Amino acid sequence: MWKSLPAIAVSILFFGNGYALDNPSSVKTKDISGRRPPAGPSVTESGTNFGPRDLLLRNSDDFSDRSGISKEQVLEDLAILKYALNNAYIGRSFLPKGAFAGLIAKIDALADNAGPSSSTILCNQLAKIAWEVPDYHFSVYHYSARCNSYSLKPQYGSVGGNVATQRELPWEISHANAGEQEVPIVAITSFLSSEDKKWAGLWPELQKIKDTAPAVIFDLRGNGGGDDRTAAKIAQQFYGQKFPDPVGFFAFNKDPAAHAISANSYKIKEKRLLLDGQPVPDYVAERCRQAIADLETSKPGSGVGGNFPPPPPIDPILLWKKPIYLLTDKSCVSACESMVQFFESHPYVRRVGDNTAGMMTFGDSGSVILPNSQTEVNMGRKYWKRRDGRFLEKIGIEPTIRVPANSDALQYALKDILKQK
């Protein structure tokens, strides 16, 4: 059952489209057990019940494109998917009314009409269903077959590419002229784990910017998200204080099945890095071990949730009082959008470009690999409701200065700097 968050908690980490609470003991907690109806058991064709461990990555999972999948194997994949959705997916309780029931009905219809198939066919059938769910994090993908639910998203005109010229680091600093002023551009192409050592050099550079720059531009175009604790740390530097929380309510699925798909997300990352001949960061294995440990100790149907108290007023004396620009586009997703939200209350911030993607309501995604088709389905374990009540999934955050398609948001920001006193 869903439980309220214990007031004695020291911290709760919202990893991936979320952030660490500095003072969770002040959170107004709420029992939300009624939001989550009992899940019916999923069974195989032979009548065997599934359990959380059936969701874990298997040694035989090789992400291969498989042909000749039998009807029985298709039905098994769909049954495992339904088990994951009913037990691991936070959207079961918090999608807009009727959306989850509609998702299950479409999977049932697929099962009713099942026949021999292949990885490509089944994956693309599920991808079409996934794209219709009002949750941008909910996605279907195949490592080897031509299948990705994100390929179904509408195409938008560009507002310019990120100015970063390298990908060794997730950030890069360059400069551009706005009249006679030299303005730093902090290009952030992704939000790797905040534990990654690649962030170490950023913090002294931001302090130099605060000490000397007439303005700053953060280029977030094309940023695919990740761990937004770094985004929170950046925002706090320019607020000079704890920034107002954009979230008014949260929920976190802690069912054993939810921990299983969380473990998978790290195990899949590890396996694919090895397949690509890349090193595996230590934190990947450690987080996988922690998720497995949580699976063993958690209880079915468990979860926490609560309301955030009203934010304290901003102290204007502590703010960095120079223009701050965020360049955004439809490829700024998840943790990237968290950074945009964190800066929403800063009076010196302007957003320039296009709407963000709208991948901010659900998050901390885990994964399940369907064993016969090797289709990967990703689903969130956490839910955030904005304080203003707006549901922006697949809509995104609007810019302050909207840039016409096929124009460069950077040039619009530089021109706007010239207008500031």
Confirm whether 141 is domain-assigned: yes
Answer yes or no: do 55 and 24 share one domain. yes
Residues 220 and 323 in one domain: yes
Shared domain check, 76 and 38: yes
What is the full DSSP assignment across 17-75? S----S-GGGSEE---GGGSPPPPPPB-TT-PBP-GGGGSPPTT--------B-HHHHH
Q: What is the pLDDT of residue 167?
A: 84
Parent domain of 67: 2-153+251-308+366-382
Inter-residue contact 9 to 304 (CB < 8 Å): no
**Of 386, 396, 405, nearest to 345 (Cα)?**
386
Place of tokens 């509408």: 154
Same domain flag for 19 and 42:
yes
* Shared domain check, 374 and 299: yes
User: CATH code at 407?
Assistant: 3.90.226.10
On whether residue 158 sits in a domain, the answer given is: no
Same domain (yes/no): 295, 377: yes
Compute φ and ψ for 384, nearest 5 degrees: -130, 135
279 plus 345 within the same structural domain: no
**Quick check: is 260 in a domain?**
yes
Whether residues 132 and 177 share a domain: the answer is no
Asked whether residue 161 is domain-assigned, the answer is no
Domain shared by 256 and 331, yes or no? no
Question: How far is the C-alpha of 334 from the C-alpha of 361, rounded, in Å?
Answer: 9
Asked whether residue 260 falls in the same domain as residue 119, the answer is: yes
State whether 86 and 185 are in the same domain.
Answer: no
Looking at 213-345, list the stretches that DSSP marks H as alpha helix, in order from N- to C-terminal side.
229-239, 256-275, 282-297, 335-342
Distance CA 237, CA 228 (A): 14
* Burial (CB count within 10 angstroms: exposed 0-12, middle 13-18, buried 19+), residue 244: middle
Tell me whether residue 117 is in a domain: yes
What single letter denotes the amino acid at residue 288?
C
Looking at the structure, do residues 217 and 93 belong to the same domain, yes or no?
no
What are the tokens at 290?
């922690």
Assigned domain for 164 exists: no
| pTM metric for this prediction | 0.82
Domains: count for the chain? 2
Tens digit of each residue's pLDDT, the chain (421 residues):
444 433 322 222 333 344 333 333 444 444 444 455 445 555 444 345 899 999 999 999 999 999 999 999 999 999 999 999 999 999 999 999 999 999 999 999 999 999 999 999 999 999 999 999 999 999 999 999 999 999 999 989 999 999 999 989 999 999 999 999 999 999 999 999 998 999 999 999 999 999 999 999 999 999 999 999 999 999 999 999 999 989 999 999 999 999 999 999 999 999 989 988 999 988 898 999 999 999 999 998 889 999 988 998 999 999 999 999 999 999 999 999 999 999 999 999 999 999 999 999 999 999 999 999 999 999 999 999 999 999 999 999 999 999 999 999 999 999 999 998 6
